[in-house]
A and B are shown apart, each in its own frame.
Chain A
């Protein structure tokens, strides 16, 4: 019970690592920085493993396991504790975060080996892990918000890690400011939640919410408003429409950062938050629909952009936005477990895709444009094979992790209690497009003839400390989905049954009945079709698999079989191609609608008129008046003792006359 009684250790270790590396690391040798950076995270990971072991021995009544450390803010009825909470959802997140973090830390020792600011990089990474763990373990909204903003800060610092590069610094600012828009909604949502429930503790809120009815799907009730406001924060942090624009730019950061923060962990915080707040969402059908809609549209929309990107990391960035859309779609149709499951498998395969992309970039000497690659298959075999496995996983090829999670999401969207045919269709098409663009990436990068200058670029496989994390993640990408495998043959899904207690509690009553009847129908159906072979055959030939296969075939046709066909297809759809190639001009539209007007107002009104005219005018005016008055008055201070004497005499005479006058008047 040691770790359960000392949950803070899991948080404290990365913070300690960040502090030592941040304060002292700059004069340490690399091995010491590695020891502090990796040591702290690996210890944290080991503690999480021990936590899982101890957690399994708890009985259902002890979950969520709650630990309160001290009262942080107390003002009247408003009280914030530094309190941590662990339930099955937290366990999954803790495992994913510490595990992927550890691998990325190890990978970074290779990737960042020749970069400046080595200790600073590890300090930021450790700080990020600390805040991410705070976010997932927080037992109240405010502490969660602390982690939420903290990971945003680390994201900013790490995107702009090469701050001397203007694009990187700008991308960092863009990420920070864009997510801030969503966080405004998040803050207001917290306030509204406090105003409604008089508490910000998850447990108290959920208890109070459980006695509230399900709100109408057409009007905006309190719960719907809170849910939508909190979702605004998730839209910013998890890069959904319309605030996704910062994530592709965030690729200016070092690749391990893209893998850890902008694929595996931080951007999934929004999904985690929605899943955590599920008692509210389940009672707000309108909010649920918005979540599902935003998710499905984003999944489709950014997948289409990914098709024509040429920068290897940009493809993956848009793919991340798209996959996050799937997770929101899952949450929006009430399949929280499927969403979190996809979060986990996505952390593995997308983290791997990014790390492998980093390895490719490393191999070709910093080139990120896929048009300058090609034929790398035999030269960097470990990178190739691991990336291929991740690609199969994300495309949803049966047997790989992405297949299980994506299949569950689409199943929930198509046949769950909140099924919606259109959203399902969007998700399905997006799955096909996903398969197309990831295989396009593989074909362009690893197949065909080399398009880089072979005399100049010396292609080499990455060092061991980079390939080992790749291999480990590849194993997870393949095997990570098999928790859900029995589901295919009509059995129970281990992952879902593990997190089920979290999502089963606080469910609104009518829905519970509905789900039970559905489950009953399902078991009846299972009774009718007891044959697991038929179930399996159905699952692996379902529409998502067909879509994935079509995408794969199309990519193969365009980029391997008939490379000219791609050009002809582009020619025949020139207008559409230009539109998508330029990312639907969203950045330009935002610039025209928001950025430039704001810049104009800031420059011309706020700066030149109000600041320079009014504020500077007042300050300078005061200075001008006193200087003018001083200039006149200093003439009295001539330094001539006799003139001073004259003034004294004049003063004395004047004073006497005044006194005499007063005396005479009286």
Chain B
């Protein structure tokens, strides 16, 4: 790749979200903002190799993108309201085109993506595309959706933002508590989409974990007084720190309690602890802080040699009060089994509704393990089969088959 192409790529990656957010906020049209910036990037790749890379590539891209928007609007005959905006935008930058710092509208854009009027399933894909510039094929792969379908969903949701006139603004203080969880949930969903691909066998999926952490850092920086934003960042860092330990050298699956703590990333664990401690100073616990605290209690094994299961079980009790998801209930049962015995864990699993767990792999994997330890071999074998059949990863299937075979 030539220097110019590399510089264009670099400028694009560094400023894509800022520029899309800025243009979309002023134009109130996400799709057009993306198209204009896309055109500007193409123009840059054509122009820069001849003219050299400009001093401020971001400003160049913004000017070029704005010109596209203006041309496009004139061509289409814009509505009066948009024209007014357009004039304002041009005035703002008339004297020092690009030299004025671009205001950071990314937080407003994130709140648009996670707006109550936007379908919950569309929120994370929308964030990944608008703020990070990921394409529909990559987002589709991460969320197990056909690329064409994902593309159509994104087009529809952007049209909805334009048509319903969702405002590009960060909610006021009093609204924040109601609106922030949707933003954090969407970011965590992006992280979760990369979670299953433990081995990093699929770099396209593994990438989303890093992208989600990037978004988590962004929100934590832009909203430094929101403990839950810090909690989410701490949670993702804790999980990510363990990624290298989740497979052994032969690629075999290693469950959390058997992981070699030497393979956990110390810098990431330390950062997670620092961020969580900062969140705790606000004395306003919430779902993500509790989840991060649970991971912190697991991480204690790296310091003291043993995880504090009683503390973990108590933290899960707290978590279930504010976020009783299927995943949290299964994890809580696992903690209960460690802290108070396998029977207690199994009883917790028994209280879960059958339809909620029919296709939930972790439920069957835990159930199988507890039944096996309790010597109920027949039922254990059945549960192992169910867990194996619901697994998406061959490493996990092989692990479960080996455990089931130990019963013969």
A and B are partners in one complex rather than unrelated chains = no
Contact residues of A with B, CB < 8 Å?
A: none
Contact residues of B with A, CB < 8 Å?
A: none
